Structure 1
Amino acid sequence: MNGFFNKKALIGMLAVFGIFVIYVLVLYAKLAFTPVSSIVSSAPPVQRGSIVDRNGKPLAVQTNFYHVGVTPHLVRNKAQFADDVSGPLGMESSDIMRILEQNSAASFVYLKKKITQTAYAELKKITDAKGYVYVNYDRIPGRIYPENALASQLIGYMGDDGKGLAGIEYSMQSYLQPSEKDENAKESQEKNVYLTIDANLQYKLEEIARDTMRTTQAESMMLIAADAKNGEILSYISLPSANLNEYSYASVAETVDRPAMEAYEPGSVFKIFTVSVACDQGLIRQDDSFLCDGMYERRIKGGEAVRIKCLDRHGWLTARDALKYSCNDVL
C-alpha cells in the first residue's frame, strides 16, 4: 500500500466481490438442497386402431408411408443418382432426371409421395450406402387395406393428415384415434373397431353381385344381408366399389355409398316376410291353397275399393308357389 491504490476504492471492490461470493454460495446451497423433480417424458403419439370384421379379420391396419424429397442442386451425378433410386421408387430413371433438371435451382422438391414401408427401407439402405445426404424422408401416418375393395364404402378411407374422411374411418374417428390432448388418450391407444359384417360372406356375396351386374348390364348394385334374429348387418355391398389402397384414383361412381344415400323401395321382396309371419302365427299351412284370379279387391270402410292387379291368372297356389311367381293376388 504505497499510495498507488486508493484505500476506499479497494475496500469497496472487496465488498462487492464478497457479496458476489456469498450470493453464489447461497444459490449453490439452494440448488444442492432442492429435491430433484422427475422428468416428465412426452406422451407417445396415439396410434390409430384397426378396423376388423366380426371374426377379427383385419380390414384396415395402421402403417407408415414416406414422402421422398431431394435438394436438386446438390446432386452432382444426376444420371447415376436416378439409376440408383429408380428401383425402390418404382419410377423410370428418365422421369427422375426430368424432375431434377426442371427443378435444378430449387432447394427442395419431392420425387415421390407415399411410398410404402418396404420401399422406404430399401431406398434408405441405398442412399445411406451411396452417401446421398441430400435425400429427405417425411414420415406420414397411413392405412393398409388388406382386402382392397371389400366393403370399401362401409370402411371408408383416411386422409394424409391421419383423419378419417368417409365411412367407419370418419364416423369412428374419436375411437380409432383419440386426440393426443385428451388426458385419457394414453389409455385409449390402439382401440380397434369390430364390425358386424363377416368378411368371408361379404366376399362371396360381392362375387355374386358382380356376376349379376355383368349378366344384367346394370350400372350399379347394392345388397345388404342381415341376421334375421337380431338385425346385425352381415354384409354391406355397394357396387361399383373402389380399391381403398388406391382411393385417389377411384371414380365418383366407385365412392358412392348407395345403401346409405339412395332411396329404395323393396316392393315384392317383402312378400317373404308376410308369409313368414303367417306361418309363425299358425295362420296358414304349407299345403294351403289360395286362388289367384288376376286381381285382389277389397272395399275399405270409407267405401273406396282397393284393387291390386297380378301379372297373370295363376289359379290355385300354395304360399311357396305364390312366392315363386311373386303373385300379387295371393300375397
Structure 2
Amino acid sequence: MIKRELYKKTIRRRLVQLTGLLSVWMLLVGGRLLHVQVAQHEQWRAQADRQQRRAIRVTAVRGTIYDRAGRELAKSVEASSIFAVPVEIEDVERTARELARVLRMDPATLRERLSERREFVWVKRKVAPEEAEAVKALGLAGIHFVTENKRTYPNGELAAHVLGYAGIDEVGLEGLEFAYDREIRGEESTVFVYRDARGRTYERTQRPVARGHDLVLTLDATIQFHVERELREAVRRARARSGVAIVLDPKTGEILALANVPTFDPNAFTKASEEARRNRAIRDLYEPGSVFKIVTFAAALEEGVLRPNEVIECLGGHIVLAGHTIRDHRPFFRLTAREVLEHSSNVGTIQIALRVGAERLAHYIERFGFGRRTGVELPGEARGIVRPVRRWTPASVGAIAIGQEIGVTPLQMAAAIATIANEGVWVQPHVVRAVRSRDGTVIARTEPERRRVLSAASARVLARMLEGVVERGTGQLAQLSGYSAAGKTGTAQQFDPRTRRYSRTRYVASFAGFAPVGDPRVVVLVALDHPRPKYTGGEVAAPVFKRIAEAALHALNVPPDRSPERPILALRTNFASEGTVGEIGLVETEAVRLSSLPPSGTEARDFLTRSLAQAVASARSVRDDPRLVRVPDFRGQGIRAVAEQCARIGLRLIVSGSGRAVRQEPAAGTLVVRGTTCRVEFQ
C-alpha cells in the first residue's frame, strides 16, 4: 500500500515536471515564433524574396515625338527581350549553340554567360519579332522572355540630327531625346519572377508604369523631307565634304527643317560615324564670308551713314588696311550702295564699314546674336567666335565687315537673315512647340525670346537691296518661280592653320535668303563645305536655295506674289512611257527660264535635251524614294476599307461623316511622306 502511494506520488511529480518542461518549451517555441513572425517579419520576408523572387527592371515607355502636323517622328514600341536563369539550364553547350545560331551571336560569349551561377543574365535585348519566335520554338529550358519598350524612328534618317536617339535602356543620348529626356522618359516598369525551391520559374508579374510626355515639334516632315533630299543631291553634285540647310519661319522663329549631310539612321546609330552624327548646323563654326555683309549694311543704314543710292568709291577693286591688301573678285570703281551689295564688292563694303566704325559695328554684331548661343533646344550648341572690340587690329574692321575674323554657326546666320525678314526683330530659333501629356494637355509651351535689332524702316530698305542681289547680282540663280526672293551669297575662304593663310582651294559656299519679299514666310540658309570645282555661293548654294524655298512655300500653301516666267518647254504626260511625269504624278509642266537658255540652234537643242534628262532623273529619284507613298483614290469606298488602306501604307486618317467616301485631301495620286494625315469626307 505504501509502495503504491509512493509510486503514484512519483508519477504525479514526474507528470508535473514534464508538464512544466513542456510548458516552458512551448513558451520558448511560441516566443520564438512570435519573434520571427512579428519582430523579424520583414527580415525573413526580404530573405525569402531574395531566394524566390527576382525583380527585373524594364525600360520605360517614352513619349512620342510629333511634327507640327501630328506625324510621328519617334515612338516606343513593344519588343521581346530574352533572359536566362542559368540554374534552370540543363545543357549549357547545346543551349549556347542553338541561341547563337538563331540570334547570330558568338557561341563562346553565350556559353560563358550561361555558365555563370547567377539567378539572372540577359541573353539579348529587344530582338526582332522573328528572332523571338525562333527562340521560343526551340523550347530551351531556362530561357525566358520579357516585354520591354524599344525606341523606333519610323522615317529612318528624317530629322535625325534634331531627334537624336535613345540607348538600349531607353535613355536619351543625343538631340531632343537627350535634351528632353526627363520629360519624355516616363517611369521604369518592374517584372517580378518567382521560383520554387528547385529554382524553377513558376510565375511572372509586371507592375504598370506611367508613360512619358509627348513632344510637338515645329518641324514640318514634308519640308524636312524635301530639304534633306535637295541637300543630299547638292552635296553629291558639288562633290562637297558636307552640307547644312535650315528653313525657319522669320516671324515665329520656328524651325521648319534642319538638315545635315552626311547623316545617319537613329534606328542604327551605333553603326554611324561620329562625323555623320555631328549636328553641323549648331556645332560647326565657319567664317561666313560675304553673306555676313548684311550685318555691315544693316549697321550703316540704322546709324544713318548710308543711303541706298549714294555712290561708293571702290578704288579699282583693291584697298589696303594696316598693310593688308583686300581685293574684289573683279575691278569696280564707282558703285551705288545697292550695287556694292548686289555685286558683293569687298572694297565697297569695307568703305561703308569704315563709316560705321569698329565700336558701332561690334554693337550690331552683338545685337544680331553672334558670339552667343541662340538658345535652341538642341544640345551642344556653339557660341561662335567674336573677339572683343578692344582686341581688334587696325585691319579687323575691314575683315569682319566682309565675314572674316569671325566664327558663326549656320543657325546663327539663319537667325540674322530672319531678323531682316522680320522687319528688324530677332526671334529665338526653336524646334519644340510644346510638351504634352498623354491625354493631350499642354504642359509647357515654347515662348521664344524677341528683341529689336533694327528699325522696321531700315530692315525694309535692306530687304529691297537684298532683293536686288537675287534679281541683278550674284544671287540670280536663287530666283524663284512665282515668288519674289531676297538674299545674299557667300564664298568664304577657309583659313589654313598649317600655312596660317586663307586657302585658295577650300571654300564654304553659302546662300541665305527669304521669300516672298513683301511678306516673308520662309528663311532658307544653305552652306556647302569644300565644293569643287565650282565653289562660289552664287553657283553652288543659290540653286539649292531656289529648290528648297519653292518646295517649302508650296508645302505651306503660300500664294505666289509674281507671275511665273513663260515656259518654252513642257514635260507632259506623253513622256509616261519613260517613267516620268505621267507615272509619278508630278505637275504636268516644268518651266525652263528664258533668261537661262543658250542661243538658238544646235546648242539650244542640246540644252533642252539635257534639261529634259535632268528632269527625268529627278522624277525617278522621287518615285523610288521608300519614304514617299502615293495617296490612293478613296472615292466610293467605306470607312473600314479606307482605314485599312491608310494603315497598310502608313498614312494617318481623319474621318468626317459616314457612308461612302466622296472627297479627300490630299488628292488621289499625290506623293506624300509616310505619316501624312489624309482627311476623307463620307456621305
Superposition TM-score tier, normalisation by shorter sequence: 0.5 to 0.7
Match of 2:67 among 43, 50, 53: 53
Aligned to 1:3: 8
Aligned to 2:164: 156
Matched, 1:133 2:151: no
Aligned to 1:115: 127
Query: Cα deviation per residue 1:241-288 (whole Å; 9 max; x = unaligned)?
Result: 111111111112101121222223434335568889999xxxx99xx7
> Are the equivalent residues in 1 in contact too, given 2:187–2:209 (CA < 8 A)?
no
Aligned to 2:76: 62
Aligned to 2:153: 145
Query: Cα deviation per residue 1:79-131 (whole Å; 9 max; x = unaligned)?
Result: 9x589x64xx4x5xxxx7x7279949963798766422x2245325523xxx3
Aligned to 1:174: 182
Residue 3 of structure 1 aligns to a residue whose secondary structure is helix
> Are the equivalent residues in 1 in contact too, given 2:60–2:170 (CA < 8 A)?
no
Report the AA paired with residue 119 of structure 1. Answer: E
Report the AA paired with residue 140 of structure 2. Answer: Y
Report the AA paired with residue 50 of structure 1. Answer: T
Aligned to 1:222: 244
Aligned to 1:191: 213
> Are the equivalent residues in 2 in contact too, given 1:99–1:111 (CA < 8 A)?
no
Query: Cα deviation per residue 1:273-306 (whole Å; 9 max; x = unaligned)?
Result: 8889999xxxx99xx7565663599xxxxxx9xx
> Are the equivalent residues in 2 in contact too, given 1:51–1:59 (CA < 8 A)?
yes
Higher relative contact order at CA 8 Å, sep ≥6: structure 1 or structure 2?
1
Matched, 1:311 2:329: yes
Whole-Å Cα distance in 1 between the matches of residues 288 and 115 of structure 2?
A: 61
Residue 168 of structure 2 aligns to a residue whose secondary structure is coil
Matched, 1:200 2:208: no
How far did 1:144 drift?
Answer: 0.7
Query: Which structure 2 residues correspond to residues 214-253 of structure 1 after superposition, within 5 A?
Result: 214-253=236-275
Residue 234 of structure 1 aligns to a residue whose secondary structure is strand
Instruction: Provide closer, same or farther for how the CA distance between residues 278 and 51 of structure 1 changes in structure 2, counting only shifts above 3 A.
Output: farther
> Are the equivalent residues in 2 in contact too, given 1:145–1:245 (CA < 8 A)?
yes
Whole-Å Cα distance in 2 between the matches of residues 222 and 74 of structure 1?
A: 52
How far did 1:145 drift?
Answer: 1.0
Q: What CA RMSD, in Å, does the superposition of the two structures yield over aligned residues?
A: 5.1
> Are the equivalent residues in 2 in contact too, given 1:238–1:258 (CA < 8 A)?
yes
How far did 1:194 drift?
Answer: 2.0
Instruction: Provide closer, same or farther for how the CA distance between residues 159 and 203 of structure 1 changes in structure 2, counting only shifts above 3 A.
Output: same
> Are the equivalent residues in 1 in contact too, given 2:246–2:259 (CA < 8 A)?
yes
> Are the equivalent residues in 1 in contact too, given 2:80–2:132 (CA < 8 A)?
no
Report the AA paired with residue 145 of structure 1. Answer: Y
Q: Which runs of 5+ in 2 are unaligned?
A: 39-54, 190-207, 353-683
> Are the equivalent residues in 1 in contact too, given 2:82–2:125 (CA < 8 A)?
yes
Whole-Å Cα distance in 1 between the matches of residues 229 and 215 of structure 2?
A: 25
Instruction: Provide closer, same or farther for how the CA distance between residues 13 and 110 of structure 1 changes in structure 2, counting only shifts above 3 A.
Output: closer
> Are the equivalent residues in 2 in contact too, given 1:72–1:107 (CA < 8 A)?
no
Residue 202 of structure 1 aligns to a residue whose secondary structure is helix
Query: Cα deviation per residue 1:118-160 (whole Å; 9 max; x = unaligned)?
Result: 2245325523xxx333544465543111121122222112222
Whole-Å Cα distance in 2 between the matches of residues 188 and 113 of structure 1?
A: 21
How far did 1:195 drift?
Answer: 2.0
Aligned to 1:36: none
More deviation, 160-169/105-114: 105-114
Whole-Å Cα distance in 2 between the matches of residues 114 and 276 of structure 1?
A: 55
How far did 1:68 drift?
Answer: 4.7
Whole-Å Cα distance in 2 between the matches of residues 77 and 189 of structure 1?
A: 36
Residue 219 of structure 2 aligns to a residue whose secondary structure is coil
How far did 1:55 drift?
Answer: 2.1
Aligned to 2:638: none
> Are the equivalent residues in 1 in contact too, given 2:61–2:187 (CA < 8 A)?
no
Whole-Å Cα distance in 2 between the matches of residues 3 and 46 of structure 1?
A: 77
Report the AA paired with residue 57 of structure 1. Answer: R
How far did 1:8 drift?
Answer: 3.7
- Percent identical pairs in the alignment equals 26
Residue 6 of structure 1 aligns to a residue whose secondary structure is helix
Whole-Å Cα distance in 2 between the matches of residues 44 and 12 of structure 1?
A: 61
Match of 1:294 among 311, 314, 327: 314
Instruction: Provide closer, same or farther for how the CA distance between residues 132 and 75 of structure 1 changes in structure 2, counting only shifts above 3 A.
Output: farther
Instruction: Provide closer, same or farther for how the CA distance between residues 269 and 103 of structure 1 changes in structure 2, counting only shifts above 3 A.
Output: same
Instruction: Provide closer, same or farther for how the CA distance between residues 261 and 76 of structure 1 changes in structure 2, counting only shifts above 3 A.
Output: closer
Whole-Å Cα distance in 1 between the matches of residues 20 and 185 of structure 2?
A: 63
More deviation, 165-174/118-127: 118-127
Report the AA paired with residue 294 of structure 1. Answer: C
Query: Cα deviation per residue 1:136-185 (whole Å; 9 max; x = unaligned)?
Result: 4465543111121122222112222321111111111111124669xxxx
Residue 173 of structure 2 aligns to a residue whose secondary structure is coil
Provide TM-score, normalisation by structure 2: 0.34
Instruction: Provide closer, same or farther for how the CA distance between residues 101 and 47 of structure 1 changes in structure 2, counting only shifts above 3 A.
Output: closer
How far did 1:75 drift?
Answer: 6.1
> Are the equivalent residues in 1 in contact too, given 2:162–2:175 (CA < 8 A)?
yes
Query: Which structure 2 residues correspond to residues 36-51 of structure 1 after superposition, within 5 A?
Result: 46-51=60-65
Aligned to 2:449: none
Instruction: Provide closer, same or farther for how the CA distance between residues 112 and 178 of structure 1 changes in structure 2, counting only shifts above 3 A.
Output: closer
Whole-Å Cα distance in 2 between the matches of residues 133 and 144 of structure 1?
A: 31
Report the AA paired with residue 311 of structure 1. Answer: H
How far did 1:210 drift?
Answer: 0.9
Report the AA paired with residue 6 of structure 1. Answer: I
